[in-house]
Amino acid sequence: MRFRPRLRTLLLALSLLTFALSWAGLIVLRVYDNQLLRQTESELLAEAGFVAGAYREALRAEGAGEGYGAALTPAALVAASSSVALAATRPRLDLGSDQVRPGAEPARPPSTPPDAWALAAGRRVTPVLSAAKPIALSGIRVVNADGTVVASSGEELGQSLAHREEVRRALAGEVVSLMRRRVSDHPNPPYQSASRETGVRVFVAMPVIEAGRVDGAVVLSRTPMTLGKAFYQDRYTLLVTALVLLAVISLVALLAAAFVARPVRALIAQTRAIGEGASAVAPIAHPGTREIAQLSEAFARMAKLLDQRGQYIRAFAASVSHEFKTPLAAIRGTVELLREHLGSMDDAQRQRFLDNLDADAARLDRLVRRLLDLARADVAQPTRERVALGTALEAVAARARAEGRAVTVAAPADAQLTMAPATLEAVLENLIDNAFQHGGPDVHVAIEARQDADGGVEVAVSDDGPGISAANAVQVFEPFFTTSRDRGGTGLGLTIVRALLHAHDATIALAPAERGATLVVRQKA
């Protein structure tokens, strides 16, 4: 059998695909934003290492000796070495987990004037910082061991930054990377500008360490590029990506149309054909999903059943018309004869015609009652009620014996049928009446129940009458077929029995018999 996904599986898959695309987009945006941040941090660390090296060499050139700077404890020196080595290989900032600190506090006047070596070394590196600023777009400050700015690419020269967290930690031997809120009095630059307008600024502070002593620190800051500007720079690549995503989404839409929309349209056409009276409706060829395939097959079966039912109703209506036509014609003929010759008839003739009228009226009455019984049987509702066969068969046999009929019963004590007791009794009474009507009053009826190995039950109703010929056997269950019409037979008894049994998932069939007729009722477990 060809594999077809369930509709809920398809909808779930499409929902998961949509979720995955959205989630992947968010992840990409988040990773890209973090990547821009870490790229800025990495570039600042590289710049800090260069400036720190230049400031260290400038101190040596100015004659700062081995005792210059603040001494580090052995533990702090080991931690500082590890921090510098780690900073050179792995940026650490993360927009999701790292705190964004308030804007940088303003510089303060120094508590003590900077030493001459630091001032001289600062003058040596200041031209380098000024030349690098237009290219690197970084704010660069070099502070001495007391936190006083001795070289700067902009303002704050001669001011103290020792109160800032990143400077304080750098002067303790730690490489520091952190984020602060950007505070600017200038308007945002043009969108295509390389300047930054994001609300976060990255600060990096790196100690200048020589011979186990901190000679100062380099403090750099820069605003990372925003996603908007990064997207603007990569707009052509993003356009191609958007076109690819649009193609993927279009493919998903076509897939949904192939699996859902198109089969639904075919299903609508199928139901319209059924509504217009089509009798042979085939299931749709490409249902897409299992549910639509099952629904289409159900519609096709329904159309077939409706056609069969319509044929049955037409044939049944013709049979009913025929059955009613004969006694009605006889009644009308009798009435015409009585109307024309009533005065010339003797008492015996009048009585004979009146008896004919009564017989035909009685036949019509029987037909009406049996048709009502058949209608009730056709709409009978199944039940899960269980009936003990032994008890029910004995009750039916007892009533038959009370009417002078010979009926015997044999049934296992534990055999049961899934059927209401009244329904089972109606079935058996119809079969008994049918046997005596065709076999005469001296017929013996035997009812035998047996249970199959798989739990099913069979009830055989046999008689020792004349039996049923091969020609009549093929018509015995057809409505209005009877060989005892002169004895009041309507030909509806076995039709009613079959309808009652069909409502309870049971069947009836004519079984071969050496003598008489045997009808077998069977219900599976």
The per-residue pLDDT for 488 is 57
Averaged pLDDT, 139-158: 91
Instruction: Give pLDDT, residue 161.
Output: 94
pLDDT band at 233 (very low <50, low <70, confident <90, very high): low
Residue 101's beta-bridge partner residues? 180
Q: Are 414 and 448 in contact (CB under 8 A)?
A: no
Structure tokens at 519: 């009808």
Residues 151 and 84 in one domain: yes
Question: Of the residues 316, 351, 379, which one is the last residue of a structural domain?
Answer: 379
Which domain-ending residue is among 332, 362, 379?
379
Tokens describing residue 74: 């052995």
The more confident residue out of 407 and 492 is 407
Distance of CA 226 to the CA centre of its chain: 40
- Taking the chain, what is the end-to-end CA distance rounded to the nearest angstrom? 29
Distances (CA, A) of 198 to 45, 132, 224: 20, 22, 7
| 499 vs 490 pLDDT, higher one | 499
Res. 305: pLDDT tops 90 = no
Q: What is the pLDDT of residues 359-383, one digit of tens each?
A: 778 777 766 776 676 666 666 667 7
Q: How does the average pLDDT of the chain come out, rounded? A: 78
Please tell me whether residues 75 and 181 are part of one structural domain.
Answer: yes
As for how many domains the chain has, the answer is 3
Burial environment of residue 268 by CB neighbours within 10 A (0 to 12, 13 to 18, 19 or more): exposed
Mean pLDDT, residues 224-235 taken together:
64
Report how far residue 514's alpha carbon sits from residue 464's, in angstroms, rounded to the nearest whole number.
9
Residue 375 has a pLDDT of 67
Query: What pLDDT is stored for residue 205 in this prediction?
Result: 93
CA distance 513 to 227: 93
On whether both 361 and 416 belong to a single domain, the answer is no
For residue 213, which phi and psi values (nearest 5 degrees)?
-130, 145
What stretches of 111-210 show up as alpha helix (H) in DSSP?
Answer: 116-136, 165-171
Q: pLDDT-based confidence at 194, cuts 50/70/90?
A: very low
Q: What is the pLDDT, as a whole number, of residue 248?
A: 79
Q: Which domain holds residue 309?
A: 251-379
**DSSP line for 270-287:** HHHHHHTT-S--PPPS--
- Three-state DSSP state, 1: coil
Distance in angstroms (rounded) separating the CA atoms of residues 55 and 59? 6
Q: Would residue 106 count as lying in a domain?
A: yes
pLDDT value at residue 485:
61
Confidence of residue 296 (pLDDT cuts 50, 70, 90): confident
Task: Say if residues 435 and 513 touch (Cβ distance below 8 Å).
Answer: no
Pairing assessment for the beta strands 386-388 and 406-410 based on DSSP bridges: unpaired
Q: Where are the beta strands (DSSP E) in 16-132?
A: 70-71, 100-101
Residue 216 inside a domain? The answer is yes
Do 430 and 368 share a domain, yes or no? Answer: no
Q: Judge if 410 and 348 occupy the same domain.
A: no
The confidence score (pLDDT) of residue 195 equals: 40
172, part of any domain: yes
Assess if residue 18 is contained within a domain: no
Q: How confident is the model at residue 79 (pLDDT cuts 50, 70, 90)?
A: confident
Q: What whole-number distance in Å separates Cα of residue 202 and Cα of residue 198? A: 11
Q: Are 512 and 448 contained in the same domain?
A: yes
CATH no. for residue 176?
Answer: 3.30.450.20
Whether residues 78 and 226 fall in one domain: yes
Residue 241 lies in a domain: no
Task: Give the range among 217-231, 242-256, 363-377 with minimum mean pLDDT.
Answer: 363-377
Mean pLDDT of 156-184: 89
Task: Please give the Cα distance from 422 to 381 (Å, whole number).
Answer: 13
Phi-psi region of 324 (alpha: psi -120 to 50; beta: other; left: phi over 0): alpha
In this prediction, residue 229 carries a pLDDT of 62
pLDDT tens digits along 7-61? 566 666 767 777 676 666 655 555 566 777 788 888 888 888 889 989 999 988 8
The tens digit of pLDDT for each residue in 414-458 reads: 788 888 888 888 888 888 888 887 778 888 988 888 888 777 888
Asked whether residue 7 is assigned to any structural domain, the reply reads no
Residue from 413, 421, 423 nearest 450 by CA: 413
Entry pTM: 0.45
At 193 the pLDDT is 41
Amino acid at 138: S
- Note whether 116 and 124 are within 8 A (CB): no
Q: Which of 123-132, 207-216, 300-309, 369-378 has the lowest mean pLDDT?
A: 369-378
Check residue 196 and give its pLDDT: 42
The position carrying tokens 């056409």 is: 269
Tens of pLDDT, residues 83-113:
666 665 567 787 777 888 998 899 999 988 8
64 and 190 belong to one structural domain: yes
Please report the pLDDT score of residue 300 as a whole number. 79
Can you tell me the distance from the alpha carbon of 490 to that of 504, in angstroms, rounded to the nearest whole number? Answer: 24
Backbone angles phi, psi at 511, to 5 degrees: -100, 150
Q: Which of these three, 313, 346, 379, is where a domain ends? A: 379
Over residues 186-206, mean pLDDT: 63
Distance of CA 346 to the CA centre of its chain: 86
